[in-house]
């Protein structure tokens, strides 16, 4: 039996429902991108304009997902559109170098202090993969340490212990390496050491123990997929100190967090990693990834290096993405990053006030222009805390997402929000009001079905 909120959503979006049935004929489960899928079915979009999306049912929806943080300037930005249009006429991709590659690389190198050299690829997934290969080749070691709940792309090593299932994850000071599905070979699990997030002493102990086998430690300064949880400075400082002592490469995955300042989250935390993975905003809305870092490590990709790491990728550095990325990053100044961060803080504070006034346990976490909602008022320091809140919430996280959509506000289904440059305080206030109204709609159902969520 459908929940009343599901029924209301279906009545509100009949054409998207039809599109979903059509999609099920050609895609398994109607889905060709797991992160963009949600129940009972996702809205089908017709176009984007500024900070708004327009679906097939004619709804105008404020877009706080921004293609999972990548559309920093929203949809159809004039300068990016012009740059792409001019480049299309000159060709979209060459199997050869172009000046556009150099221009975008020079811009990024000038902003991110830890990066001497850079290498473009086609996705954030590919960026983290090549960073890990770089670390293994440079150190001659095989194991990788990643954070419990950390996500670094769509391949096995990057997804180990992505969801720390309580019955399987082990003790906090020594988490188990867990597969998220049946595609994981045992070798991947044995090559991955899982580290508790935001636990400096535990991290130091594990790195010391596995130092002779560890090629790299990879970490997101803001843990994204488990709810925009910022690392503490003490935790990142410990990772930096201990990896340096043992000759282990420290990799920052800044695919999401680069937007927080001109120099990324590492500039805010004042910690320089050995390698940095990037993507999303640096492509201006087109597919991109990049790995950059200290010259001594990046030289492993030099084609003249007899011990080089071979990296070939058909669309890496393609002319179209370089044009879009250069336009987008030129527009994204330090002052603009600061403005979006202030809007994000206003959004987070407004969301927290909405939960407090609703009498429902909940909070918003995040940093700057990145925000996430959780159905718990307990402290959230790591993925275990976040997952506990998800379990406590039951299906009300999903239902809140639907309620917000019906009020014209789109986030990721995991309740992640990010701010884009077309937004002003008007849009922030609109989203805050939508949350107040959505929580009021949910409260009677929570009282009947999940009373422990009530304050």
Burial tier of 155 (Cβ tally within 10 Å: 0-12, 13-18, 19+): middle
Percent of the chain whose pLDDT exceeds 70: 100
Asked if residue 385 is part of any domain, the answer here is yes
Please, which pLDDT band fits residue 191 given cuts at 50, 70 and 90?
very high
The number of distinct structural domains making up the chain is 2
Tell me, yes or no, whether 151 and 237 share the same domain.
yes
Average pLDDT over residues 338-367: 98
Asked if residue 236 is part of any domain, the answer here is yes
State which of 310, 331, 352 marks the end of a domain: 331
User: What DSSP character marks residue 277?
Assistant: E
What's the CA gap between 163 and 146, in Å, rounded?
13
What's the CA gap between 36 and 45, in Å, rounded?
12
CB atoms within 10 A of CB 42: 20
State which of 285, 301, 331 marks the end of a domain: 331
Asked if residue 1 is part of any domain, the answer here is no
State which of 298, 331, 364 marks the end of a domain: 331
CB atoms within 10 A of CB 186: 9
Residue 255 belongs to domain with CATH number: 3.40.640.10
The pTM for the full model equals 0.97
* Span 152-163, pLDDT tens digits: 999 999 999 999
What's the CA gap between 231 and 197, in Å, rounded?
7
Query: Pairing between strand 60-63 and 409-410?
Result: parallel
Query: Would you say residue 130 has pLDDT above 90?
Result: yes
User: What DSSP character marks residue 39?
Assistant: S
Asked if residue 210 is part of any domain, the answer here is yes
Give the range of the structural domain holding residue 63, as residue numbers without chain letter: 48-72+333-453
Please, which pLDDT band fits residue 1 given cuts at 50, 70 and 90?
confident
CB of 232 within 8 A of CB of 201?
A: no
Asked if residue 360 is part of any domain, the answer here is yes
Percent of the chain whose pLDDT exceeds 90: 99
What's the CA gap between 311 and 124, in Å, rounded?
15
What's the CA gap between 184 and 182, in Å, rounded?
6
Query: Would you say residue 418 has pLDDT above 80?
Result: yes
Show Cβ contacts of residue 411 under 8 Å, excluding neighbours closer than 6 positions.
64, 65, 373, 401, 404, 417
Apex CA 162: angle with CA 186 and CA 72, to 5°? Answer: 135
Query: Pairing between strand 60-63 and 52-55?
Result: antiparallel
Average pLDDT over residues 211-237: 97
Tell me, yes or no, whether 311 and 192 share the same domain.
yes
Look-up of token digits 């909602």: 373
Query: What pLDDT shows up at residue 144?
Result: 98
Distance from CA of residue 310 to its chain's centroid?
Answer: 27
Query: Pairing between strand 289-293 and 363-367?
Result: unpaired
Distance from CA of residue 338 to its chain's centroid?
Answer: 19
């Amino acid at each position: 039996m459908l929940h009343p909120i599901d029924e209301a959503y279906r009545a509100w979006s009949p054409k998207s429902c039809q599109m979903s049935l059509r999609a099920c004929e050609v895609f398994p489960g109607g889905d060709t991108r797991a992160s963009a899928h949600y129940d009972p079915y996702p809205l089908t979009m017709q176009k984007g304009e500024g900070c708004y999306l327009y679906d097939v049912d004619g709804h105008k929806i404020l877009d706080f997902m921004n293609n999972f943080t990548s559309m920093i300037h929203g949809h159809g930005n004039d300068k990016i559109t012009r740059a792409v249009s001019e480049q299309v006429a000159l060709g979209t991709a060459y199997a050869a170098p172009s000046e556009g590659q150099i221009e975008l690389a020079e811009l990024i190198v000038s902003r991110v202090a830890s990066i001497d050299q850079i290498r473009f690829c086609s996705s954030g997934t590919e960026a983290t993969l090549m960073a890990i290969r770089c670390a293994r080749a440079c150190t001659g070691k095989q194991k990788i340490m990643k954070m419990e709940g950390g996500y670094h792309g769509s391949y096995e090593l990057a997804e180990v212990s992505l969801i720390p299932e309580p019955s399987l994850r082990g003790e906090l000071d020594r988490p188990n390496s867990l597969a998220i599905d049946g595609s994981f070979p045992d070798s991947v699990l044995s090559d991955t050491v899982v580290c508790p997030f935001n636990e400096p002493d535990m991290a130091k102990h594990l790195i010391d123990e596995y130092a002779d086998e560890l090629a790299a430690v990879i970490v997101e300064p803001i843990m994204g997929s488990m709810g925009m949880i910022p690392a503490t400075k003490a935790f990142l400082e410990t990772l930096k100190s201990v990896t340096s002592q043992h000759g282990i490469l420290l990799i920052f995955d800044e695919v999401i967090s680069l937007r927080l300042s001109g120099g990324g989250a590492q500039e805010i935390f004042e910690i320089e990693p050995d390698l940095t993975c990037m993507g999303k905003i640096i492509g201006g809305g087109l597919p991109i990834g990049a790995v950059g870092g200290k010259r001594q490590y990046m030289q492993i990709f030099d084609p003249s290096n007899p011990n080089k790491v071979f990296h070939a990728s058909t669309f890496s550095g393609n002319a179209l993405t370089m044009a879009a990325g250069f336009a987008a990053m030129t527009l994204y100044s330090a002052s603009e990053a600061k403005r979006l961060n202030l809007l994000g803080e206003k959004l987070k504070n407004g969301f927290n006030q909405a939960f407090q006034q609703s009498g429902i346990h909940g909070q918003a976490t995040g940093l700057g222009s990145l925000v996430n909602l959780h159905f718990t008022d307990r402290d959230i320091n790591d993925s275990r805390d976040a997952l506990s809140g998800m379990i406590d919430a039951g299906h009300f996280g999903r239902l809140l997402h639907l309620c917000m959509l019906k009020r014209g506000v789109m986030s990721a289904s995991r309740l992640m929000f990010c701010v884009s440059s077309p937004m002003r305080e008007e849009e922030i206030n609109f989203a805050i009001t939508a949350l107040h109204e959505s929580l009021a709609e949910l409260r009677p159902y929570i009282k009947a079905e999940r009373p422990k969520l009530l304050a």
